[in-house]
Amino acid sequence: MISETSPADVRLDWIARREVALIDLREEDPFAKDHPLFAAQLPLSRLELEILDRVPRRATKIVLYDNDEGLVPKAAERLRALGYTQVSALAGGLAGWRQAGLELFQDVNSASKAFGELVESRRHTPSVPAPDAKALIEQEQNLVVLDARRFEEYNTMSIPRGVSVPGAELVLRAREIAPDPSTTIIVNCAGRTRSIIGAQSLINAGLPNKVFALRNGTIGWTLAGQTLEHGRQDRFPEVSEGRAGEALKAAQAVSYRAGVKVIDVRGLEILGRDAARTLYRFDVRPPEDYASGHIPGFRSAPGGQLVQETDVFAPVRGARIVLADDRGVRAHMSASWLAQMGWGVYVLDGGFDGELAKGPWRAAAPALPDTPTLTAAELHARLGEVTVIDLAPSPAYRRGHIPGAWFAIRSRLEAALTQLPQDRELVLTSPDGALARLAADDLGALTGRTPAVLEGGTAAWIVGRLPLEDGFTQAASAPEDVYRRPYEGTDNAAEAMQAYLDWEFGLVDQLARDGAHGFYVI
């Protein structure tokens, strides 16, 4: 029997800054419709693959909930098997939170987005509407457009003259890109948050230029009937030591005002020995810098995305966070925002002069069960004789899957079986095979037969240059694993984009009604 934690107690933990991880076990699309402010979406289907990094301390207080789908008992059992010792259920689940009269938020990364709206309302961050921005871009030569999103988002769609400068890079690079104080700077993202935070970062850091956020980002640009560009490759330039030094002094002053503390390597070691507290270690540099050499034990979390997706990187509200950056600027600016969002955050001074680890960040992996396997060649020879179940995220399945494979969500396998041919052997696959191996036990318990798993997953199939099929061709589960974001992609309905903006405009009032956030703005 799993114990219960009341919604009031979770809210009190937030207010008192006691550690708690409120975990929503549903898939992303239903999560985006309704959830508490600091809830972290960690679906039952991927629980074992993500929990070790997202909740690294096994004694953390974890509160699980769903919306009456029966996911909590399975999740609690899996967490206990992994060594988590303080696992409870939210009393009444999502309905219990609603019945307690507490606020429910929509979309994803809602805490960060609500904070961004609070920043704009308190600091009156200058912004320029899309038609005026278009006129400036066309008529004013002494102007630069800095796109604060990830490069992949910028490359998909951008406004004219945009240069990719992901959020944490802005204060470090802006003086190099716009050395003339008379140059106007427009900061944009797809919606509002990263435009606001990016522009306000430059203002907080004392840049002498006129700085504006593009009001409502590329959504506002599109709703104004203006054309976006696609496939741009313009990235931020290298920065001179002199300008990097200026940026560091400015960033340190901002983080000091926000109450950020600086620790050295010895201090980090002492914090890390505190078994009663969760300590997240994040390297806020670009992924390519991280891969070239990083402090062991630090996860890659580029600073702009860390501030935007704090619930993804750090689901344990009340935990400590240490940021590392060999230039210092990105860590201090990211820390300044996290501190204002109520986190206990530190900047690491040093650490890069020791032995560094190489390569991209890789998630901590749980022990995987032994399962019967088929090689890609063996499976290819048997296509038509077996039923392949693909547990990839639905966008990956759409891009390319084994011909004839059925899309399914792991937590929906029991229902998925009713859609599948009943007279064939089952074979599971997933992008690298790990999720398929975890799901093999689930499927065996449901059918009484142990399925085979594609060795190396669909990646091995691709390496073998075997044929792929695209599109959402055969679905045994609805694609609710991914929420369709109105601010990503190029084919969103105008009504959905406007509804998203209307929701963002209401977040400041919703924060006031919620009353548990603990945000402040310097």
Give 199-257 as a DSSP string: HHHHHHTT--S-EEEETTHHHHHHHTTPPPB-S---BPPP--HHHHHHHHHHHHHHHHH
Number of domains the chain is built from = 4
- Rounded distance, CA 197 to CA 216, Å? 13
In this structure, are 418 and 457 located in the same domain? Answer: yes
- Residue 387 in any domain: the answer is yes
- Residue 490 in any domain: the answer is no
- Residue 305 in any domain: the answer is yes
Helix axes 110-123, 494-505, angle to 10 degrees: 60
In this structure, are 305 and 406 located in the same domain? Answer: no
- Residue 480 in any domain: the answer is no
The last residue of one of the domains, among 70, 93, 108, is: 108
In this structure, are 10 and 101 located in the same domain? Answer: yes
Predicted pLDDT of residue 493: 81
Helix axes 47-54, 72-81, angle to 10 degrees: 60
Q: Are 18 and 111 in contact (CB under 8 A)?
A: no
Burial of 372 (0-12, 13-18, 19+ CB in 10 A): exposed
- Residue 356 in any domain: the answer is no
In this structure, are 220 and 268 located in the same domain? Answer: no
The last residue of one of the domains, among 88, 108, 128, is: 108
In this structure, are 384 and 310 located in the same domain? Answer: no
In this structure, are 126 and 97 located in the same domain? Answer: no
In this structure, are 343 and 291 located in the same domain? Answer: yes
- Rounded distance, CA 13 to CA 15, Å? 6
Looking at residue 437, which CATH number applies to its domain?
3.40.250.10
In this structure, are 295 and 270 located in the same domain? Answer: yes
CA-based end-to-end distance of the chain: 46
- Residue 364 in any domain: the answer is no
Domain carrying residue 315: 255-348
Q: What is the DSSP letter of 30?
A: H
- Residue 479 in any domain: the answer is no
Tokens linked to 46: 């991927």
Q: Could you tell me which residues are beta bridge partners of residue 428?
A: 389, 453
In this structure, are 129 and 100 located in the same domain? Answer: no
Query: Which residues lie closer than 8 Å to 213 by C-beta, 6 or more apart?
Result: 120, 125, 126, 127, 128, 186, 187, 188, 192, 195, 196, 198, 199, 200
- Rounded distance, CA 220 to CA 500, Å? 11
* Segment holding 98, helix H or strand E: helix 93-99
pLDDT, block means (10 residues), the chain with 522 residues:
96 97 98 98 98 98 98 97 98 98 96 97 97 96 97 95 97 97 97 96 98 96 94 95 97 98 97 97 97 97 96 98 98 98 97 95 92 96 95 97 97 94 92 96 92 96 96 96 82 82 91 96 98
In this structure, are 127 and 226 located in the same domain? Answer: yes
In this structure, are 46 and 124 located in the same domain? Answer: no
The last residue of one of the domains, among 426, 443, 463, is: 463
Predicted pLDDT of residue 490: 65
Predicted pLDDT of residue 275: 96
In this structure, are 89 and 128 located in the same domain? Answer: no
Q: Are 430 and 389 in contact (CB under 8 A)?
A: no
- Residue 458 in any domain: the answer is yes
Predicted pLDDT of residue 478: 96
- Within 10 angstroms of residue 240's Cβ, the number of other Cβ atoms is 12
* Segment holding 345, helix H or strand E: strand 344-348
Q: Are 66 and 26 in contact (CB under 8 A)?
A: yes
